[in-house]
Structure 1
Amino acid sequence: MTAVKVFPLRIGRTKVPYGQFYGGLDTFSLTEFVQDKDHFIWVPIHAFLIEHPSAGPFLVDTGIGPGQADEHARYYGGSIMEYLMDDDEYDLPAGERIEVQLERHGYRPADIRGVVVTHFHEDHIGSLNLFPGAEVYLGRDEYEARDSKALGLVPLAYPRSIEAVENWRPVDFTGPAIGGFDRSADILGDGSLVLLPTPGHSPGSTSALVRTDSSDLLLTGDAMYTIRHLAVDHVRQMQTDNAETFVDSIRRIQWLHRALPNLVILTSHDHTEYGEHLRGALAGGELSEADLSWAKAWERETFDPVFGINPAKLPRFVPAADGDPVGLAR
């Protein structure tokens, strides 16, 4: 197996309605998303740096940029997004900008050879324009839907966020089956970075399976918001595209989890103990045997063999003591 390393990069955070994350079983709607101003939570935004010894550095997603965080209304001026989203939707400290984090690993944006875009939502492509020369991989269905608008209002891909990209590489999933997936795409040709179709959150949402010497890492983007969403019959996020397809994608991830004993799932916004622990454990690019054992023990305590969730692990909203609309998700 090729020696590959994966480094989580925290690119600020985003303020979201609690129902967006955990109200899917109650059919939390776009109208509720816009109107619910009393039940917010802050969740992290993550991209992932992949170091490959011969293919060079890759990214999975790019997070947000300072224009979105610091000049939100101006950045989205003239579009419906200016009115649907709050000005403080994003928070991006200077030290968490993606170019600053890359520099800590010895890279400049120009060094990045490729970017995998899990999907076109703004908190995943806000810094994409920093990498105009990189090859940008994404599911073909996502690429072809880039000009579509949800409910005729919200663009799948906000033009300003993608206008600098020169090298689109739409992916056709013609590779072999793996786990619950009947097709795949090995974009580097050595099995170390395999893309899997996980539509539902967006038309062509894609997850990235990264195979390292110590573990298999599935980077899901927003196909799952947190590890708890693996229990799709008990914990479900707001549906933004196709509910049936979304659930089917989670079922396929469940089968992948069964097929790969060393699989660890990393989502972009996991605010739980699981996500925080594993991102810290990957500071050196690989999981230790102890951290992999910790992850598997946590999963056994949380899920039964068919991915029902331990009732004690169900999420709940905890209001702020001072009445602030931003609370916590436990």
Structure 2
Amino acid sequence: MSTTTLNPVTGSLQPTLDQVITQPFLRRKKFITTILLALLIISTMAVLVFHAYIAWTLARPHIDPLHSNPLKAVHLPYTNVSFPSQNGKSTLEGWFIPAAASAKTVIFSHGYGGNREEEWVPLYTLARELHKQQYNVLMFDYGYVNPTSNRLMTGGIQESKELLGAIDYIKQTTGGSIYIWGFSMGAGTALQTALQQNGDISGMILDSTFLLNSDTLYQNINQSVHVPKYPSLPLVRMFFPLLNGISLHQVPFTKVTTTSYTMPIFMIHGTSDNKAPYALVESMFKQQHNTASKLWILPNAQHELLYRAEPKTYVSRTMDFLNGIQPTLTAVQVDAGIPSSL
């Protein structure tokens, strides 16, 4: 079918009526298709950028500056200390609070988004209680807390090496039994550290244990911004190593949650914890074979607010747990032939 006709006057070709009608329609269709394609590209880019931003901020949490110190907060003399991580990739800063002639030390392992003083726990109050019970206390910041260190949050991968560095520091300066008291991701980091240590940890208290896996990651993202699990979760997990240089798949979640640890562990969790499900902690506790390990589930208690839910009971139970642990000899003491009853 011809799309043009011959003009009998001018002898030139001219469009038919069908062509006159069809051409504007085709132009409009092409224009609309182009607009829709552009909108699709822009929307896709916006989605990708949004999830890349989530992955970027996840490794760079906002940290408030220190507001006080042990002397000002609870009248405990302290010393500023620094030490390297066990792998030498970071230098950590902290406070050492000595107890008179004590060879027992508790190392606090703070949570994500917090620092060595984590006031909402509150760590100063617990440090004072430990001091009364003749425990030295080490409070330190993980590497990602220091804005000048260029370190990123790694879900416990690098942080476990930093906690091992804290353990090495205590072994070299004070010796004696070492206990880890971890909170939230700091508790998850303590468990990752326990997989790597060589009998240096005498016991652990784990408050509101948080471990990064697909479920907990999505649960926490969704509290800040409501997004569908798919494709949001795969996109964040894809962008995290691209932007931060480390993959969250490196977190040994399965090994951490299925291991029976040699040291006694006191696991404390709340049923209203909206960041870390208490069912996971109950499952982990069932794996433990050390008869001194304990589990305390607080009804209606929220994430990292367990002390505030029942202050007196919290202190009495945690101190009873620590005081009931048989002291562990260090390698130096073993080599010296010191009997285990001391």
What's the TM-score bracket when you normalise by the shorter of the two chains? under 0.3
Larger radius of gyration: 2
More helix by share: 2
Could you tell me the TM-score, scaled by structure 1's length?
0.26
Higher relative contact order (CA closer than 8 Å, sequence separation 6+): 1
